[in-house]
Homo-oligomer: A and B are copies of this chain.
Amino acid sequence: MAIDCAACPLRRRGNFEAFSDKEIAFMRKFKTGEMQVDPGTLILSQGLSSAHLFTVLSGTGLRYRTLPSGERQVIQFVMPGDFLGLQAGVMHEMGHSAEATSDMVLCVFNRGDLWSLFKSMPERGYALTHLAAIQEHFLGDALATVGQRPAYEKVGWAVHNLYQRAANLGLVRNDAFDFPFRQQDLADALGLSLVHTNKTLAKLRANGVFLWRDGRITVYDQSALSKIADCDAIPRQPLPLI
């Protein structure tokens, strides 16, 4: 029933690092199952630990942090290949929650096996660290955007980023990709109000940059978009995968 790691659909469709035979054999043991969830399902919960760690096989989700005052900051739009639960794995508790926004399939690992990953398969431990470094890189970029840029550029940056990631995963067809989120989610990711986000999206639409409708984003003018996003191009190196 469960997908065999050797035939992992991610490595076939996306731009990921290759696995050695030894690594595949290890991952088969390391993987303890698969999980299928519906939209809205809470996968990890801020403040709690978790017995399981996950790699997203398909579907989309959100990571977000809730402040005691009730505000919500979306940390990341989760896509296939993302690893969820590192904080629960090595620390006492998660600093954010994760939930599905579409049907989602996740590879499941045991938190308790994490040490074996370093101990008996250092290549995999290194890959995990690599993933964490990429995450740090992305968060730094997000922080700079949220902290320093005006709304129009924020939204442009977000869509640009999402488009690049989707493209890397082979999820873009005719300059369009699925994006099953609400405007509120984007607003919470960028530190903008819902209303202002809406008006900014309208502006970008009017300018013919892109269109977000019915859970799908279509980019009409890539060069305009990357000019608005104004960020250093992401090197298209293969991503590590757990």
* Contacts A65-B141, A143-B146 given; does A133 touch B89 at CB 8 Å: yes
Within the complex, what minimum Cβ distance (angstroms) separates A116 from chain B?
Answer: 9
Question: Which among A20-28, A69-77, A104-112, A162-170 touches the partner chain?
Answer: A69-77
Main secondary structure of the interface of A (DSSP, over half): helix
- Is there contact, CB below 8 Å, between B75 and A140? yes
Q: How far is the CB of A69 from chain B (nearest CB, A)?
A: 6
Instruction: Tell me if A87 counts as interface (CB < 8 A to partner B).
Output: yes
**Bound Cα distance A141, B122 (Å):** 30
**Among candidates B47, B65, B115, B140, residue contacting A144 with C-beta atoms closer than 8 Å:** B65
Residues of B within 8 A of A129 (CB): 86, 90, 118, 125, 128-129, 132
A67, A92, A190 pick with most chain B CB within 10 angstroms:
A67
A127-143: CB near B (< 8 Å → 1, else 0) gives 01110111111011111
Indicate whether A140 sits within 8 Å of B89 (C-beta atoms), given known contacts A118-B126, A132-B129, A191-B147: no
Interface residues of A (CB under 8 A from B): 47, 65, 67-69, 71-73, 75, 86-87, 89-93, 95-96, 115, 118-119, 122-123, 125-126, 128-130, 132-137, 139-144, 146-149, 188-191, 230-232, 235, 237
Instruction: Offer 18 A-B interface pairs, CB within 8 angstroms, sorted by A.
Output: A47-B232, A65-B140, A65-B143, A67-B148, A68-B232, A69-B230, A75-B143, A75-B144, A86-B136, A87-B133, A118-B125, A119-B122, A122-B122, A125-B126, A132-B135, A135-B136, A142-B143, A147-B189
